[in-house]
Amino acid sequence: MKQEIVQIHSLEYLTNEILELTFISDYLSSVAKPGQFINIRVGDNFPLLRRPFSIFNVEGNKISIVFNVIGTGTKVLARKRKGDTLDVLGPCGNSFLLFIDDSFDTAFFVGGGIGVAPFPFLTKHFPSHKKIVTYLGGRHKKLIVTKGLKNIKISTDDGSDGFQGTVLDLIKKDFQENDYGKIRFFICGPTRMMKAVANYANTINADCYASLECDMACGIGLCQGCNIEVIGGERKYKLVCKEGTIFETKTVWL
C-alpha cells in the first residue's frame, strides 16, 4: 500500500450520469487486484476525508474509477480535468480473487447502479474456463454501464433498458430458463439489493460474496469507523475497509 500523487489522464462520461476517471500510476496498476479500492483525497481542504472508490479497470499503467455525482466528494471530483493531480492511497481492502475456487461453474456478477464498479476489472482477471453472467440493475438506463463486461443482462426499474423490474427478478427468471451448473454470486450495489440477492442465493444453495460500501475515514483500519456486524464468530464486528470490503454474505448482517 502506498500514498502517492497521481496525474489524471482523462475524465469522461460513460452514460449521461456516470463518469469514468482515469489516472496514471505505475505502482497501483501493477499491484491492484479486482475488488480492491483506492481512497482518494478529492480536494486539498474540502472535503476533509478521503473517499473510497472501487477499481473499475486497469490498462497498462492507467487505473480508472467510476462514479456519479451524488454528494460533496463526487461533486468536487467531477470538476477535475486532465492533467490535474490527485492524492491517492491504495490499494485497500481484499480482492474477489480470494473467493474463486473449483467449487462452482458459473459466476453471477450482480451490479446495482454504480455497484457495477468492480466487475470490469474482475471480468478481465476471471479464470477463462468459468462462465460469467453479468446482471446489471438500475433505476433507468442512464445508470447502466456495460463497458468491459461479458454476457450482460440488464434490468431497469422503468424499463428504459432491458428487462423491466428488479435485478433479482431478472436473475430468477434467467435461472429458471437456463442451466448454469453450480453458481457463485459476486455482488455489489445498494444494501437493499444485496440483501435480496444474498437471500435468494441462499435459497438456491449458491455461495454469495458481496463488496460492501460504508462511510470510511481512513480506509486502512486506523479509525475503526467502518464496522459491520458479524454473524456468529468471536468478535461482534469486522472492519469493512481492512477485513473486507468483500465478505461472504452468510457471515455478516447486511
Residues that bind another protein (CB under 8 A): 1-3, 41, 45-50, 72, 87, 89, 214-218, 220-229, 235-237
Nearer to another protein, 87 or 157 (CB): 87
Shortest CB 194 distance to another protein, Å? 15
Cα gap 90→38, rounded to integer Å: 5
Across 18-54, b (16+ Cβ under 10 Å) vs e yields bbbbbbebebbbeebbbbbbbbbbbbeeeeebbbbbb
Shortest CB 45 distance to another protein, Å? 8
Nearer to another protein, 146 or 227 (CB): 227
Cα gap 62→10, rounded to integer Å: 10
Nearer to another protein, 74 or 146 (CB): 74
Shortest CB 237 distance to another protein, Å? 6
- What the block records as the C-alpha cell of 157 is 426499474
CB 9 within 8 A of CB 57: no
- CB atoms under 10 Å from CB of 122, counted, come to 26
Cα gap 251→99, rounded to integer Å: 14
Nearer to another protein, 72 or 160 (CB): 72
Shortest CB 37 distance to another protein, Å? 15
Shortest CB 139 distance to another protein, Å? 17
Nearer to another protein, 129 or 236 (CB): 236
